[in-house]
Amino acid sequence: MTQTIRLTAAQAMVRYLAAQRTETGERFIDGVWAIFGHGNVAGLGEALHDAGDALPTWRGQNEQTMAHAAIAFAKASRRTRAMAVTSSIGPGATNMVTAAALAHVNRIPLLLIPGDVFANRRPDPVLQQVEDFDDGTVSANDCFRPVSRYFDRITRPEHLLTCLPRAMAVMTDPANCGPVTLSFCQDVQAEAHDYPHAFFEPRVWRIRRPEPDAGELAEVVDLIKAAKNPVIVCGGGVIYSRAEDVLGDFATRHNIPFVETQAGKSALAQAHPMNFGASGVDGSAAANAVSETADLVIGVGTRFQDFTTGSWALFKNPARRLVSINVAAYDAVKHGAVPMVADAKVALNKISAALGDHAASAPDARLRAEWLDAVTAHCQPRTGGEGYRPLDAEVIGAVQRATGEDAVAMCAAGTMPGALKLLWQASQGGYHMEYGFSCMGYEIAGAMGLKLASPEREVICFVGDGSYMMANSELATAVMRRVPFTVVLTDNRGYGCINRLQTLVCGGPSFNNLYETCNVQDQPQIDYVAHAASMGAHAVKAADIAALETEIANARGRTIPTVIVIETNPAEGPGFGAAGHWWDVAVPAVSDHDGVNKAYAAYLDGMTKQRLVN
C-alpha cells in the first residue's frame, strides 16, 4: 500500500521543490523571492515559513525586479540552477510578465508562481480579479501564456503530481529551457491532499548533451574542409554547454577565428589569439572584417539576432554558406542554415575529430592587433576644459584599468550594451549582458542576482540614468542582504542612446528623449547620490575619470552596494565611428525633414545588402 502524507497543496509544492537536486548535489531551485498578498500569503506564505532554510525565502521590492534577480542568478549559474518567484494575484502577477518575456527570449530557467483566483468561484469576483466577460476560465495570469515555455493552472491539489515534474523537465531541458508559470489558485494552495511519500524523495536532474546526427556531422565537416575563410560566431550556448575551452582549442587547431555575440562574449577571454571581438551592429572592425569576407559562417549556440548579423547585411561574401550548431532545431534551421542539432561541446569535439589536422588559412592577426590597440587608445581619458563630460568609452576604460581578472561587467539596455560589447576587454566569464530582451530596469536587480551566483567575482553594474529611474529599488534589498556590487551610473540626462538613433541614424530632430527636448516646464535636477544613499547604499559622485578609477578601487571590501555617479556626454555616446555596422531600423519614407530624407536614402542602400537566406 502506498504511504502518504497529508499536506496542503502549498506545503507539498515547497517540499517537492526543496528536494530537487543538481548533479553536484545542490538545490536546483535555490530559493524563493516573495512579495505576499491575499493571493499567496495564507497558502505559500505559511508553507515557506515552515520550510525555513530547506527552501529559503527572500523579500524584494517589486515583483518584476525580483524575477530579474532570479534570471541573472540562473544565467550566471549557466542554467544549472534557478530561483522561484511568487506574487499575489492581479498587479503582483502582471508585474512579472515582463520578466517572463525576458527569460523566454534568453532561454533562462525561471519558476513563476503567481497566486490566482478561487478555483471554487464562491467569492467571485475577488479582490484584484480580472474578469473576462466571455470566458470564465480566464484570469490575469493568462497573460503569461505567450511568454512561458510551460504554463499550468493549479485548480486541484493533486495537479502538483503532474505539473511539478513537467516544470522541472522544462527548466532542465537545454533546448526547451525557459520560464515556467504555475498559476496557483489561492484556495487550492490551502486545501489538503494525501500525497505519496515517494513524490518528495530527492531527485537529481541531469542536463542532457544531445549527440549530432551522423549525416549532419558529415555535411558540416565537408563544408569546413571546403571553406577558405571560415569564421565562428560564438553564442551563449557555448557558455551554457561549458564548451569554452573546447571552442578555444577548436579555433586554434583549425585556424578559424571566432567573433562574439552579446550572450557569447567572455566565453573566452579577449586575450585569446583567435578572438576577433564583437560581431555586427555593435561589432569590432576586426570581427566585422573577417565576417564580411567569410565563405562559411559557423554559428555555435547562437540564434543569429539582428545585432549579430548586421540585420543580415554583414556576411557579404557571395559564396557564403551558413552552418548553425544548436541544441534547438528551431534555431539550427534559421535563414537556410545547414543545421547540426547537438550540444555545443559534443558537436565541436566530434567535428574536430573528423577534421583531423585540417586547418584553414590563418586569419590576418594584424586586424585583431590593430583593433585592440585602437580600443586601448580610444578608452584613454581626454583632456577637457571646465564642464567637460566624458564619453562612455572613457568610463569603460577607467573601470577596465581599475579592476582585475575577476571583474564581471554587466548591463542590459541603453548605450552601454553596445559600448561594452565593443570596448570591454573581458576575462573569461567577465561579461554578463541581458540583450535578448534589452530590458531597461534589469541592471540593479540583475547585479544582485549575479553576485549571489558568483560571490567570488567583482560585479560592476553599468546603468544609465534612464534605466536607473525605471527600476532601482532592489538596491535596498541588496543592502538588507549585504550583497556588495558596484554601480557605475552614467548620467546623460535622458535616453541618450535612443536620442542618437533618432537624430544621427534616422535623421530626425531630437524629441522626447533628452530632458532638454521634452515637453516639460522645468528640467529635473535629480540627485542620484542622495537617492541611492537613502536606500542604504554607499553613494558618491565622481567629478572626472580619475576620480572614477579611485572610487572603483575604494568600493572593494564593502559589504553593501556602492553607487558611483558620473555625468557623461549624451551626444557622442561611445564616440567610436570606426566600428559597428548598418542596422535595419525603418526610416520614414516621407518626411518634411531633410535629415530624415537623407537617412531614408541610406536606409534603402542598406537594404540592398541584406541577404536573408543562403
Segments in 461-512 forming alpha helices (H):
465-470, 474-481, 496-500
- Model pTM greater than 0.75? yes
DSSP 200-241: GS-EE-----PPPPHHHHHHHHHHHHH-SSEEEEE-HHHHHT
What pLDDT sits at residue 385?
80
**How do beta strands 321-326 and 296-300 pair?**
parallel
Angle 429-430-433 (CA atoms, 0-180°, nearest 5)? 95
Q: What is the pLDDT of residues 238-265, one digit of tens each?
A: 999 999 999 999 999 999 999 999 999 9
| CATH of the domain spanning 4-204 | 3.40.50.970
What's the rounded mean pLDDT across residues 580-600? 93
Asked if the model's pLDDT at residue 578 lies above 60, the reply is no
What's the rounded mean pLDDT across residues 278-306? 96
Q: What is the pLDDT of residues 151-160, one digit of tens each?
A: 999 999 999 9
CATH number (3.40.718.10, 3.40.50.970, 3.10.110.10, 1.10.150.120) of 379-567 reads 3.40.50.970
Domain with CATH 3.40.50.1220 in the chain: 214-368
pLDDT band at 376, cuts 50/70/90?
Answer: very high
What's the rounded mean pLDDT across residues 512-518? 92
Q: What is the pLDDT of residues 130-156, one digit of tens each?
A: 999 999 999 999 999 999 999 999 999
What pLDDT sits at residue 521?
85
The rounded distance, in Å, linking the Cα atoms of 174 and 151 is 18
What pLDDT sits at residue 576?
59
The rounded distance, in Å, linking the Cα atoms of 275 and 409 is 18
The rounded distance, in Å, linking the Cα atoms of 290 and 260 is 12
pLDDT band at 580, cuts 50/70/90?
Answer: confident
What's the rounded mean pLDDT across residues 425-453? 97
What's the rounded mean pLDDT across residues 596-601? 94
CATH superfamily of 214-368: TPP-binding domain (3.40.50.1220)
pLDDT band at 579, cuts 50/70/90?
Answer: low
- Greater pLDDT, 386 or 345: 345
Q: Could you give the 3-state DSSP secondary structure of residue 13?
A: helix
pLDDT band at 384, cuts 50/70/90?
Answer: confident
pLDDT band at 50, cuts 50/70/90?
Answer: very high
Q: Are the beta carbons of 163 and 151 closer than 8 angstroms?
A: no
113-142 per-residue burial string, b: 16 or more CB within 10 A, e: under 16: bbbbbbbeeeeeebebbbeeeeeeeebbbb
Asked if the model's pLDDT at residue 520 lies above 90, the reply is no
Counting residues of the chain whose pLDDT is more than 90, the rounded percentage is: 92
pLDDT band at 402, cuts 50/70/90?
Answer: very high
The average confidence (pLDDT) of the chain is 95
Q: What is the pLDDT of residues 160-179, one digit of tens each?
A: 999 999 999 999 999 999 99
Q: Are the beta carbons of 205 and 168 closer than 8 angstroms?
A: yes
Q: What is the pLDDT of residues 523-576, one digit of tens each?
A: 889 999 999 999 999 999 999 999 999 999 999 989 999 999 999 998 776 655
Asked if the model's pLDDT at residue 577 lies above 60, the reply is no
Domain with CATH 3.40.50.970 in the chain: 4-204, 379-567
Asked if the model's pLDDT at residue 380 lies above 70, the reply is yes
Any long-range contacts for 330-337 (C-beta under 8 Å, 24+ apart)? 331/302, 331/303, 331/304, 334/303, 334/304, 335/304, 335/612, 335/613, 335/614, 336/613, 336/614, 337/299, 337/614
What's the rounded mean pLDDT across residues 507-532? 92
